[in-house]
C-alpha cells in the first residue's frame, strides 16, 4: 500500500458533511473503513447516478467522494453491532464522524468511552457548529453553512448585471469541503503530536468556524474599518466598486483579467502588445508610469482608462488569443471555461490528472473523474480502489482488524 499515511487505520462514520476528510486521508494511503447502516448512508442517495438510474452503488457523487475507502455495514440498532463498532474503534488510529454532538457518547460509542482503552486515538468530530455553544444542536446543510459563515454574502453580481440580486451560493459542497480540509489539517497536526508524545486527542471541527475564517477580505475590512464589502460580478468582493475583470472577446467567450501591468516591466510588454494592434496609443504618457496609478480598485482615472482600452482590445480578438498573449507577457489572465472544455484540457492530460473509475452500471465504461490535487515525489498518490459498494468489505475488515472468522 502506497502513500505517506500508509499503515494508519481510519474509521469513518460520515455522510456528505464529513466524507471528504476520509477521502483525503485514504488518497494519502490510510486504510479508511467507512461504516454505514444496512440501507446505506445518505451520501449514496445524492445524484447524479450512473445512467440516471438511482441505486446505493450508482451515485457518481459518492464515487468521487469515497475513493480509496472500504465499506463495512453495521446496524447500530443491534447491541452486537454496537459492540463491534467499539472493538473497531479500539483497533483504529483515527476516527472521523459527523454525528450530532453527544449522540455517540450517549450510546457509549463515542470518544469518552473509547479514549481510556486507546490512549493514542485521534478522534475528529465534524459538526455544523461545534460541540458546545448555543448553536451546537442546530442543523445545517452546505448552503446554510455558506450563508451563516459569511461566504454567500460575498458572492453575487454588480447591480447593472442583476439589479437587486440576492447573495449567491458557490456549488460543489464548498462549505463541507472547507470544514473537511480544516479537519484533515487538525488530524495531521494531532498525528505529529502523537508521534512525539504517544497521546491522542479529540478534535472539535466546526464547519461554521471553518467557513467563517475563509471569507477573504470581508473580515479584515470589518475588523479594521467597520466596513462591509459589496458583491461584484466575477471578481473579489470589495469595499467599493472595482473595474470589471470579466471581458467578452470577439468570439463571444469570456476572459478573466486579473490586473494589468502591476510592475513596469510587465506594463511595457502589455503596452507594446496593445500598441502593435492599434490600441493604447496614449499609454506612453508619463501619467501611466506609476504602478499605483494603474492598479484597479483604487479609483484612479488611469486605471479606468486602461480597463476601458482593455475592453476594446479584447472585444477585437478571440478569447484564446487574449489568454495566450497575456500569459506570454506574464499576466494572470484566463478564459472562462465550461466543464466539457476542462475535460479536454491538454495540460491536465499531460499531467495525468484524470482517473477512470468503474462502478455498477458502468462496467467496462469507466467514468472520468479528477485525480490527485497534489503530487508526492517519494510516496506517489494512487487510486488503489474505487468507491466501495455497500458492505463490500464487511467480512474482510472484521477479519483483518478484529480477527473474526469468515
pLDDT in tens, 221-279: 999 999 999 999 999 899 988 899 999 999 999 999 988 888 899 999 999 999 999 99
The alpha-helical segments, DSSP class H, found in 289-393 are 291-294, 301-315, 319-328, 339-343, 346-351
276 with 145, same domain: the answer is no
Buried-exposed string 181-203: b where 16+ CB fall within 10 A, e elsewhere = bbbbebbeebbeebeeeeebbbb
Distances (CA, A) of 167 to 211, 230, 254: 16, 10, 22
13 with 145, same domain: the answer is yes
97 with 185, same domain: the answer is yes
139 with 269, same domain: the answer is no
Is 29 a domain residue? yes
74 with 153, same domain: the answer is yes
User: Residue 299 — pLDDT band, cuts 50, 70, 90?
Assistant: confident
44 with 85, same domain: the answer is yes
Stretch 297-314: mean pLDDT? 92
32 with 107, same domain: the answer is yes
Is 295 a domain residue? yes
Strands laid side by side in the 122-127 sheet: 69-73, 31-36, 9-13, 94-97, 122-127, 201-206
What are 34-60's pLDDT values in tens digits? Answer: 999 999 999 999 999 999 999 999 999
**Total structural domains in the chain?**
2
Where in the sequence is the domain holding 163, given as residue range(s)? 9-213+372-402
- What pLDDT sits at residue 313? 98
Is 78 a domain residue? yes
Is 325 a domain residue? yes
259 with 141, same domain: the answer is no
Is 351 a domain residue? no
- What CATH number does residue 306 fall under? 3.30.1540
Nearest to 32 by CA among 87, 95, 82: 95
260 with 191, same domain: the answer is no
Q: Which helix (H) or strand (E) holds 202?
A: strand 201-206
Which of 340, 362, 388 is the C-terminal boundary of a domain? 340
Is 145 a domain residue? yes
pLDDT exceeds cutoff 60 at 1: no
Q: How many CB atoms lie within 10 A of CB 287?
A: 13
pLDDT exceeds cutoff 90 at 28: yes
Stretch 107-132: mean pLDDT? 98
Is 347 a domain residue? no
Amino acid at each position: 500500500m502506497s502513500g505517506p499515511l500508509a499503515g494508519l487505520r481510519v474509521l469513518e462514520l460520515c455522510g456528505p458533511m464529513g466524507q471528504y476528510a476520509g477521502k483525503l486521508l485514504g488518497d494519502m494511503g490510510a486504510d479508511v473503513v467507512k461504516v454505514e447502516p444496512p440501507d446505506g448512508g445518505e451520501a449514496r442517495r445524492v445524484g447524479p447516478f450512473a445512467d440516471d438510474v438511482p441505486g446505493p452503488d450508482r451515485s457518481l457523487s459518492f464515487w468521487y467522494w469515497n475513493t480509496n475507502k472500504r465499506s463495512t455495514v453495521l446496524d447500530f440498532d443491534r447491541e452486537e453491532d454496537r459492540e463491534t463498532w467499539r472493538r473497531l474503534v479500539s483497533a483504529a488510529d483515527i476516527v472521523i464522524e459527523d454525528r450530532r454532538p453527544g449522540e455517540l457518547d450517549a450510546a457509549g460509542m463515542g470518544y469518552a468511552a473509547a479514549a481510556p482503552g486507546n490512549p493514542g486515538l485521534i478522534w475528529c468530530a465534524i459538526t455544523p457548529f461545534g460541540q458546545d455553544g448555543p448553536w451546537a444542536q442546530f442543523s445545517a446543510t452546505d448552503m446554510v453553512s455558506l450563508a451563516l459563515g459569511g461566504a454567500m454574502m460575498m458572492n453575487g453580481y454588480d447591480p447593472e448585471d442583476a439589479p437587486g440580486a440576492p447573495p449567491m451560493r458557490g456549488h460543489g459542497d464548498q462549505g463541507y469541503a472547507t470544514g473537511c480540509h480544516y479537519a484533515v489539517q487538525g488530524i495531521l497536526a494531532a498525528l505529529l503530536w502523537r508521534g512525539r508524545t504517544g497521546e491522542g486527542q479529540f478534535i472539535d471541527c466546526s464547519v461554521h468556524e471553518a467557513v467563517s475564517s475563509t471569507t477573504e477580505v470581508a473580515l479584515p475590512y470589518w475588523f479594521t474599518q467597520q466596513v462591509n464589502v459589496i458583491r461584484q460580478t466575477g471578481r473579489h468582493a470589495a469595499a467599493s466598486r472595482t473595474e470589471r475583470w470579466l471581458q467578452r472577446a470577439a468570439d463571444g467567450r469570456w476572459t478573466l483579467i486579473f490586473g494589468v501591468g502591476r510592475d513596469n516591466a510587465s506594463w511595457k510588454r502589455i503596452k507594446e502588445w496593445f500598441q502593435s494592434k492599434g490600441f493604447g496609443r496614449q499609454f506612453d504618457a508619463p501619467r501611466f508610469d506609476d504602478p499605483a496609478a494603474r492598479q484597479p480598485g483604487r479609483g484612479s482615472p488611469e486605471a479606468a482608462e486602461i480597463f476601458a482600452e482593455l475592453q476594446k482590445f479584447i472585444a477585437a480578438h478571440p478569447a484564446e488569443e487574449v489568454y495566450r498573449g497575456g500569459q506570454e507577457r506574464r499576466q494572470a489572465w484566463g478564459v472562462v471555461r465550461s466543464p466539457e472544455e476542462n475535460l479536454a484540457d491538454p495540460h491536465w492530460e499531460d499531467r495525468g490528472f484524470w482517473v477512470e473509475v468503474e462502478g455498477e452500471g458502468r462496467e467496462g465504461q469507466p467514468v472520468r473523474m479528477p485525480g490527485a490535487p497534489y503530487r508526492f515525489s517519494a510516496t506517489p498518490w494512487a487510486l488503489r480502489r474505487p468507491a466501495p459498494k455497500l458492505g463490500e468489505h464487511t467480512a474482510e475488515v472484521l477479519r483483518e482488524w478484529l480477527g473474526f472468522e469468515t
